[in-house]
Amino acid sequence: MILVIGGRSKIGSALVADLLDRGEQVRVLVRAAEADSSGGLGGSEGLGGSVGSGGAVAETVVGDLADEGSLVAAMDGVEKVFLLSSPHPDAVRWHRNAIDAARRSEVGLLVRSSILGADRGSPADFINAHTECDRYLEKSGLPFVIVRPNLFLQNIPESTIPSIGADGAFYGDAGEARISMVDTGDVAAVAAVVLTEPGHAGAGYDVTGPEALSYADVAAQLAESLGRPVSYVDVPDDAVRQALLGAGLTAWFADALIGLYQDYRRSGRDGYAAQVTGTIADLTGRPPRSLADLLAGTAPL
Ligand SMILES: NC(=O)c1ccc[n+]([C@@H]2O[C@H](COP(=O)([O-])OP(=O)(O)OC[C@H]3O[C@@H](n4cnc5c(N)ncnc54)[C@H](OP(=O)(O)O)[C@@H]3O)[C@@H](O)[C@H]2O)c1
């Protein structure tokens, strides 16, 4: 039995479907409020991607990363755990709870979804929190794998495209930094391999897309895909902060995002975020999805 924590995230839902397709028994941790609002437990309703292509369904268990006792209960009979959560001011405590629960439950492998750059030390809070969690896991004595994905390609259709104004411009504070953005389905495929195939315990994998793109490069691809002029305009952090707050993000989230992009800028055009690794092809046997692939499969917006 594999317990997936964060099973309704983009990576998590694709992972659950992949594991079911591989014939694994899967349990998804859901928070009580979400379980109630999704029409009850035990079925696929409300769990979107939790159904394999053959019709197999994941079971669900109620729990919360803030409550270690609920995690120990959720890990009853579980051999392996996949751990991911939303970015949150309490995320380090949450992930420590899950690692402690896995140790108490004598879980055989914990795979943690981290972020590219977490192994190098960074002033950005988003990355720092992952570094702290990864170090805690490495010292826990549990067999582990750490998966470090770069920025998600899915941010482009979900956030960038809707932000394009009537003048064709979208705004950001990435400067000239190039980022090898990665498809979340590809990250899930890597996680499925390390969870189900032997020989990965103790490894850390940097997971990137096939090409490093600046936001000017993204604008050029969007213009091509949307069939109209699109341009990227770099603006000061304060302007981005106001826009993020205006879009309803909390001050903590807005500042964490700005810190991440400051880190991209600081690392430069060919910095750490521009690296292209062979992890996806090496582990899954297929090439990583590009922005062009994603845009070709995305309904026009
Ligand atoms: N966005 C990027 O470009 C990017 C790039 C690299 C790495 N990352 C990292 O990827 C991770 C996921 O980010 P995301 O934006 O994809 O997340 P997300 O869509 O917000 O999903 C997060 C998942 O965490 C679960 N969760 C949140 N709080 C929980 C709690 N207290 N107890 C149990 N489960 C909880 C959510 O459950 P519910 O479904 O019940 O809400 C959801 O399934 C983060 O660690 C982030 O730092 C993000």
Give the per-residue pLDDT at 32. Answer: 80
Distances (CA, A) of 221 to 53, 107, 213, 224: 32, 44, 10, 5
Residue 294 in this model has a pLDDT that exceeds 70: yes
Percent of the chain at pLDDT > 70 equals 92
Give the per-residue pLDDT at 250. Answer: 96
- Amino acid identity, residue 269? R
pLDDT digits (tens, 9 = 90+) for 22-49: 999 999 999 986 654 443 333 334 444 4
Give the per-residue pLDDT at 298. Answer: 59
- Considering only CA atoms, which of 22, 181, 184, 51 is closest in space to residue 113? 184
| Cα–ligand 1 centroid distance for 186 (angstroms) | 16
Q: Is 181 in the pocket of ligand 1 (CB under 6 A)?
A: no
What is the average pLDDT across 244-254? 95
| Alpha helices per DSSP H over the chain | 10-21, 32-37, 68-74, 91-104, 125-138, 155, 184-196, 215-226, 237-246, 251-267, 279-284, 291-296
Q: How far apart are CA 7 and CA 252, in angstroms?
A: 24
Q: Is 14 in the pocket of ligand 1 (CB under 6 A)?
A: no
Alpha carbon 188 to its chain centroid, in Å, reads 9
Q: Is 30 in the pocket of ligand 1 (CB under 6 A)?
A: yes
Take atom 19 of ligand 1 and give the residue whose Cα is closest: 9
What is the average pLDDT across 216-241? 97
| Cα–ligand 1 centroid distance for 225 (angstroms) | 29
What is the average pLDDT across 113-121? 95
Give the per-residue pLDDT at 55. Answer: 84
SS3 labels along 93-160: HHHHHHHHHHHHCCCCEEEEECCCCCCCCCCCHHHHHHHHHHHHHHCCCCCEEEEEECCECCHHHHHH
Q: Is 46 in the pocket of ligand 1 (CB under 6 A)?
A: no
| Cα–ligand 1 centroid distance for 196 (angstroms) | 22
Going by pLDDT thresholds of 50, 70 and 90, the confidence category of residue 152 is very high
Give the per-residue pLDDT at 45. Answer: 40
Going by pLDDT thresholds of 50, 70 and 90, the confidence category of residue 121 is confident
Q: Which CATH topology does 2-149+182-208+275-286 take? A: Rossmann fold (3.40.50)
| Mean pLDDT of all residues belonging to the chain | 92
Determine the 3-state secondary structure of 207 from DSSP.
strand
Angle between helices 125-138 and 251-267 (to 10 degrees): 90
- Amino acid identity, residue 212? A
Q: Is 143 in the pocket of ligand 1 (CB under 6 A)?
A: no
Q: Is 124 in the pocket of ligand 1 (CB under 6 A)?
A: no
What is the average pLDDT across 274-299? 93
- Considering only CA atoms, which of 81, 279, 72 is closest in space to residue 195? 81
Going by pLDDT thresholds of 50, 70 and 90, the confidence category of residue 19 is very high
Residue 51 in this model has a pLDDT that exceeds 70: no
Atom of ligand 1 nearest to the CA of 66: 31
pLDDT digits (tens, 9 = 90+) for 63-91: 999 999 999 999 999 999 999 999 999 99
What is the average pLDDT across 89-98? 98
Residue 231 in this model has a pLDDT that exceeds 70: yes
Q: Is 84 in the pocket of ligand 1 (CB under 6 A)?
A: yes
Residue 248 in this model has a pLDDT that exceeds 60: yes
What is the average pLDDT across 220-242? 97
Q: How far apart are CA 164 and CA 167, in angstroms?
A: 8
